[in-house]
Amino acid sequence: MIPAEQIRPESASPMPPTALYSLFELRASYVSGSAMSRERRRGVGGRAQSKDTGGTTHVSGETGSVTTAEPTKETRSEEDLDVPWQIVVHNDPVNLMSYVTMVFQRVFGYPREKAERHMLEVHHQGRSILWAGMREPAELYVQQLHGYLLLATLEKVS
Amino acid sequence: MEICRHNDQIEISELDPFLAELLRQIPASASPDGLPAAEQRLFSSPTNGKEPELCAEWKIYVEPELRRLFQSATETVAADLEQLNGNEKSLANRTLRIPATHTDAWLSALNQARLVIAAKNNFTDSELSDHFRSPIGSRRDLSLFQINFYGFLQEFILRDLDG
């Protein structure tokens, strides 16, 4: 990550303070977008995750009889879902340090100090674990982080 | 070039033709089309290649949303940049006004452009740490200057958001 102070030209004029605006709205819109995909991907309300593979219908040309194969379902076990996952953010040399801090504040609601701690950990150690918990919210967080163009991955907690 | 905040917009004035041209190039520079390395960076794997089922679902359901998100940001920026295409003399300095409601789109588009340019040129960490390289020289020098200039704008917007 790039320290902000290194790229500020000396001619940069200082900004007057402005009201904090739109953070909540923007954050909400990202969550909303994620939730929409969630419904398509998972269905809502279910504890176990399942995926329809679709049924197939065959018509016999000779007899005219119709046979329908039952759709199969792949279901992930409760055990699979209960495994805790962690969100790891990886260092990249392009994103600004101040930008990464802002993203951590927005996505996780972390106070600035905590967000900066994680940002510095990413910068110095190459990665930082930002959050751990159930898979579904973890996926949503990673989706938001990717929306902000951060290198973020999900890992099972070993 | 001067940047300041005027009411509900950020004003970039005294933009010389060179910097104005760099700004005009943001939308095109942000496109990863035809650049596999850039595509891979903008749409990175959610699991570092592990969990193939999750990666496959991600490609189907999440990537299109991310594409729409990124495209929407560059379209907003492209519309703002229309201000630079006035009837003034081509060598005259320009002024660009960015509405406060567009700052997130600008942050995203600038970031996309920086990441795509970096991936396209395969810049090393050492080159990316060289924030004062002159744009005069090779095409590579110009690309690095572009990354740094866009980073400066991002930094200004971030400070503005921070109040």
Whichever domain contains A133, its CATH number is: 3.30.1390.10
**Mean pLDDT of all residues in A109-122:** 97
Question: One-letter amino acid identity for B59?
Answer: K
For B86-132, the pLDDT digits (tens) are: 766 667 788 999 999 999 999 999 999 999 999 999 998 888 887 77
**A17 pLDDT tier (thresholds 50, 70, 90):** very low
ipTM of the complex: 0.93
Could you tell me whether strands A50-52 and A73-75 are parallel, antiparallel, or unpaired per DSSP bridges? antiparallel
Q: A4, B158: Cβ pair inside 8 Å?
A: yes
What is the average per-residue pLDDT within B139-146?
A: 91
**Which chain B residues have a beta carbon less than 8 Å from that of A35?**
none
Mean pLDDT of chain A: 69
Of the candidates B10, B109, B161, the residue with the CA atom closest to the CA atom of residue A26: B161
Q: Is the pLDDT of residue A32 over 80?
A: no
Does A26 contact B at CB distance below 8 Å? yes
Q: Given pLDDT bands bounded at 50, 70 and 90, which one contains residue A72?
A: low
Give yes or no for residue A121 having a pLDDT over 70: yes
Q: Does residue A43 register a pLDDT over 70?
A: no
Reply yes or no on whether the pLDDT at A148 is more than 70.
yes
Is residue A126 one of the residues assigned to a domain? yes
Instruction: Please give the mean pLDDT across all residues of chain B.
Output: 91
State the residue range of the domain holding A89.
1-6+22-29+79-158
Residue B4's pLDDT is what?
Answer: 87
Q: Is residue A53 part of a domain?
A: no
In a domain, A38, yes or no: no
Owner of token pair 């998972």? A42
Cα distances (Å, whole numbers) of residue A19 to A22, B5, B11, B85, B159 = 10, 12, 17, 31, 12
- Please state which of the ranges A125-139, B127-141, B144-158 shows the lowest mean pLDDT: B127-141
Residue A43 falls inside a structural domain: no
Q: Provide the shortest C-alpha distance from residue A13 to chain B (in Å).
A: 6
- The nearest CA of chain B is from the CA of A121 a distance in Å of 18
Position A103 in a domain: yes
Residues of B in contact with A102 (CB under 8 A): 158, 161-162
Q: Which of A16, A37, A149 sits opposite B111 (nearest CB)?
A: A149
Q: Does a structural domain hold residue A17?
A: no
What local confidence, expressed as pLDDT, does residue B6 receive? 83
Looking at residue A126, what is its pLDDT? 96
pLDDT band (50, 70, 90) for residue A88:
very high
Q: Which of A33, A94, A102 sits opposite B128 (nearest CB)?
A: A94
Cβ contact A8–B1 (<8 Å):
no
Which whole number is the average pLDDT over B56-83?
Answer: 96
Q: How many domains does chain B have?
A: 1
Supply the pLDDT for residue A89.
98
Give the model's pLDDT for residue B104. 96
Q: Which domain holds residue B108?
A: 2-162
Residue (of B134, B12, B130) closest to B80 by Cα position: B12
Q: Is A155 a member of any domain?
A: yes
The pLDDT of residue A69: 56
Is A4 an interface residue toward B (CB < 8 Å)?
Answer: yes
